[in-house]
Structure 1
Amino acid sequence: MWKAIRRGTNGHRVFLRLLVPNMLFLLLPLLVGWVIYNKTLQEMEKEVTTGNMHLLQQSRDILDRRFAEISSIATQLAGDPRIMQFQPVTEPFEGANTYRILDTRKSLYNYGLTNNFIFSYFVLYKNSELVLTENSTYGLEEFTRYFQYSGMELGDWKSTFLERYHTRKVLPARDVDVRGGHYSLLTYIQSLGFPGAPQGAIAVTADNREIQKLLGGLDLSGGGWAYITDENGAVVSEISSGTPNGRIDRGSLPGKEGSVPMKIGSRDMLVTYTTSAYNAWTYMVAQPAHVVLEKVLYIKKITFTMAFIFLAAGLLIAYLIAYRNSRPLRSIIETIMERTDGEAAAGSSGSPGSPGADAYRFIRESVSRLIDNNRELQEKMKAQAPLLQAALFERLLKGEYVSLEDHRALLQHVGVETEGNYFAVAILQLRGYDGGLNRFDLEALDVKRVMVKDILHEALGASAHWHDVAEDRIALLFVFRFAHTQHIREYLAEAAFRISETIQHRLYLATRFAIGGVHEDLLNVSRSYEEARQTLEYLLWRNRSGPMQFEELPIEHNSYYYPSDFELRLGNLAKAGDLQAVESMLQELYDINFKERRLSVPMLRLFMNEMWGTIVKMLPQVGMDERNVFEQMKPFSGDMSSFEGLDHNYRALVETYRHVCGFVGEHKKSQNVQLMDNIIRLLQDGYVDQELCLEAVADRMDISKGYLSQFFKEQTGVNFSDYLESLRMTQAKVLLADTDLPVYEIAERVGYSSSNTFCRAFKRINGISTTAYRRSHAG
């Protein structure tokens, strides 16, 4: 009987669906307006918090990269033999020490010229109280008068910088007077020496104004504020439109990021926060609730006005166009809602009682908005491509990649093709700017670089990629498919000569063309780049122009071979657990320093000390027990008085690296097993959730979508979406066969937002409709 009634009322379904909402508009207009107002309130809060979260995450990522750069600079300085040689010195201005101080200070590079985030840096020594900066030398007492921290006396300087051992320590922003100028600076400290026995410190100061600029895009009107706290809760930097009314305890905020309403003092505030995985800093913004709701109040007024206007016309329009127009319009709107994940909820609920023109306008605006958003996204991606390409090229030259797949995928993503068997790097320097640069020289260089790149494009076409490494220098990456290195060197020499002659003829500009070695592996591009840099340094020393290859350099046997980029890459490979690549690099270092160069025992001892220093710096980063490794190192630390002892010491170093790689590999393996168990458990327990998807699971696991998709496929052999769909379909079959539940309820129970979507998916996977499946399993 119930089925007959349903069949009899099918013809009036659309009419009733249009009539009832209009009656509700007549009887309960204020209630509807209040519901819409609350929905709008939620959406506006979501919009504000999403915008704040995006800006905080962007600021977090930028600062993480900045402090990673500062950490790399401090590590390089701490490992510089010229810096290390003054640690035991107590009388720095006696004898040859004065010349060494002058030579060391001249070698210090002013990083502030290329990185506006860095204000300055200085090196302090505990034993001599000597302070070196990029442009001068001071005693500690004199330097504290030149570089005055607010509220920090001489004793505080010693206690903070020299008496304690710091690793990647960041002091919060503090007012500093530098030669009469007032600044707000953060201070990064990396101690020299060893834990328990600090010998000095390297301090890098960062301009707090650059951090405040990152937070400047937040709306802090009406007494809002934003600040950054370190892992101990100390405020690193802050910005506000007034005096902040109280602080927030980080422990009271759930998770690593989110947005929560809170009562701070006597005011209702909306707090958005996120935490950095790099240094555990928390980025937080608080806004008064009334500021967030200003737009909502305006929308409330518009909503109620429009509701009253359409009350009178609602029933008439419903009677006239109900049957003819409602069905196709509802179908289209429902499709749009499904594809936009419910963003059109207000349009869906209002469409049955709206005129046909409104529905068409809704569809047109929705499609138009999607097209505009897609076009805007494409334009932003195109605008960011050159910057991304430059950053990835820089990482390639520095050897910061570990995985060959990462190399090729990232570079191909930005249009740099690296398919080939052999690779070489060359550096082209424009002469005439060795004496320094001023504003006019930089403007002229910009023009000449553009003209030089046109010449490179004419001469090399797509066979080489180039990148600016300095104002007057361009690095070129050559990729070759043929396998005879002698032919490659001849080609490079001929191309370098031809390009140099063309530049001289067209621009009347002399050049130096330094060519690195030819290597088989893309991972060795950084090595070729370092060889090109050595060749260029030799040309600069000899004041020569024209091309020169690395193989033409005179062989020197008076120093060991362990360049900084080689050390950085060796550490990265060890931290990644790539034992094969680590052993290959260690064997290469052994062949060069123990066999080819035939170094003296003292020089080999210096080489071994630096090699062990690399391990000491790396142990905290991989989470190993330092005391255990130090105990293993003790038997070898004193046996370096002969070639046999040094050779034995090097073998012990290789074993230590093997131990580190094994530890990293086991750690990764255990993490992967635990991660996979957590993902499977989450899918099996939560597949009924309609919001469960790749992005939602990635957020809960705190990993990226791309990594989750690749990791899941590697571990199970099945795509993530296929696995989740299989779980839902398995349960759906059980419910269809064993229960009389309607299809729409089964769809909800297995995680689908609509019965139409569920039915299409069921037939696509099983080759049979839900009705036919239920009929075939009927008792």
Structure 2
Amino acid sequence: MPKYSRLFRRFLISYIVILIIPSIAGYMSYRTSITVTQSISIENNVTQLQKSQEILERRMAEVESFTRQLALNQDLSVLLNEKLVDDKANVYGVWKITRDIKAYSQTNDFLKQFYIYLTNFNVVVTPGNAYFRPEHYYQTSHYSNLSLDEWKKTVLEKTHRSEIMPLSPFVNNGTQTSVITFMQSLPLDSFSDSSPATVVTIIDEQTINSVLSGLRDPNGGWTHISDAEGHTISLQGISQQEMDQLSADSRFDKGKVSQFYADDLVIRIQSKSTGWVYSTGIPKHVLMENANKIKYITWSVTGVALLIGLFVGFMLSYRNTAPINRLLSVMKEQFGKDATTERNEYDFLQGNISNIITNNKRLESELNRQLPLIRDAFYKRLIAGEFQSRDELISAAAQADTGLNMNAGYTGILQINGYSGMESVEILNELNAARLILKQILIDSGSHLHVHMTDLGSDRIVTLFTSGEKDEGEEVGKEDIEQLVANLANLAFTDYRITITAALSDPFSSVMEISHSYEQARQALEYAVYMNRKGIVWYSDTRVESNTYYYPIDVELRLISTIRAGDVDEAERIVKSMIEQNTENRELSVEMKHQFIGEVKGTLLKLLDQKALMESPMFEKIKNRIISIQATEAIELISREINEIISAMCGLITSKKNDAHIKTVKQINEYIAEKYSDPDLNLYRIAEIVERPEKYISQLFKEVTGTNLSDHLEKVRMDHAAILLKRNQYNVDEIASHVGYNSSHSFRRAFKRVMGVSPSSFRQSAEE
């Protein structure tokens, strides 16, 4: 960027100061808004935690109330006082209790799993079932950290008075979970070491967490509940180790209701009735969500205002100083460069423009002659290895007046950075000027080396470094070339903001080896692009690389199965992991990079045999995109292209699956509409018709329609029953048979459950 005059800078600085003053006032207002918003968010979260505490304590009170209701159950009281007769228990009484307590588990999710242990009969009674040996119950439901004997000793054979066992691992029918346990001995006034009965309520951690679900933001957060002794009751979103570390940290003040710890706002309250401690952590980014909105709006408005203000100030400064600049230009043109001995703000701009104009005229003059074209063609043939003999090469060099001697040297490629993939007319013109500038700097370098140059594409220059005529017989040193290229890069960046990457070969001992030397430089440049290296890269440096790439068969199979499942996020994660393994954890050679990219392309091509892809009109386009991936591109561009191809594949596969799901649900609906009157119509027969597993179609129907399949079948039958009831042609028993019920009693219950009234009441209201 050119340097502006002192006068221009004075104007511009004054306008910037005017912009800064209101910006400071706006910033102070912004900070106040952020503080207020933060305090409101903290207050709201404290209130939410208190409400969750009240709900949980109320639910736990319901559990305790349930045990008191059981204590008043007369049938249970009778069983408690009975004794075994001839080693036989009162089976009827036990069965009646299992039936009576079944309703509790259906009306309260905290009572979904409980049992009553009757000491006199050695029976474990659960809703709807009884285990005449506790060992039988232990086989299906038991604590992972308690053996059978320990369970009997600590739970069944001990007197409990509204005790709660902390969070413990639990296995229920093979499913691993974590639970807390509420234990109460019966009768309630039991004080001996053993009691006639023990009520044990097992509450799943997920059930407790559902009460606290409002505290956790979808983007993060955690909750923790502990009893008065510090034992964990519920844990969600954080590990026990992290919670112990937080509690042990001296920086964490347990007496504060709210405080910031690490990146979370931690809110901690203690119940006065139970002594339980309720803690929740809210990530700072969630807490500051509303504040961030204010932040984004404020910074956006301020940024736009500053940009507009800077643009206006720039334009005004330019307009005020432009006449003076034009006057100085005319004066320097008339009196020459030496007219002004003191350097000022115009020297750099005027000097560079003058040099560019002079160099441009010189290049235009040279381009009007044929010799530069012949010389350039000679260099291109030379690096391409088209000369068959040394005599032919010497003759062509003399004809092109290249001045190329037969000494040893190095081949290099200078790449202008920042223009990869850009080919507009403006960019090509800019690159043309940049190449001319670089060549001119090399010509004017004053080095004793001979530098021969030719363009390679729009952003590269091939250079041959050989010794000068006076130094004939002396070898060209790497230090000399490095110094020359470093000076070139420094001048190009300082004066013109041009950055370059120089790739250099191993030395050649004869001009006939230049084509091989050029290939080494090309590979070094490709290595530099691949490794994102800047500055000078020697071919010898590229040899210290890994000879293997990371792409094991299990990763390939996982990538294939993930794409076939349509999971684009997981597939992109696998690709990202592979790229990181091959770029961050190892340095691949160019050949290994080519092989690695080829393997990935092969994997993507294998996936094209999917029916969803082969039948898609996008098949050829995706195939061509895979084939056109070039291993010579930068790894970031290759990774982006692979992710886009994977996204397109997953989109097509997911769309095909959704169409198949809708078709299956439509087939189910049509079959139910046709066979609803068949009493034997069930999930098994429907699965048989659509040729899918029972569990699959049940989940699929629920996912697509939002309704259970059994509920839908029942609703279809009740709709037809309502039509028949309105017609008043059949009695209720006949209608039950017509809509697929063998029992009129079952039909009446189902009709009332769905319609809200009995069939007789529905018919009467229809008649009225």
Whether these two folds match at TM > 0.5 is no
Max Rg structure: 2
TM-score, length-normalised on structure 2?
0.35
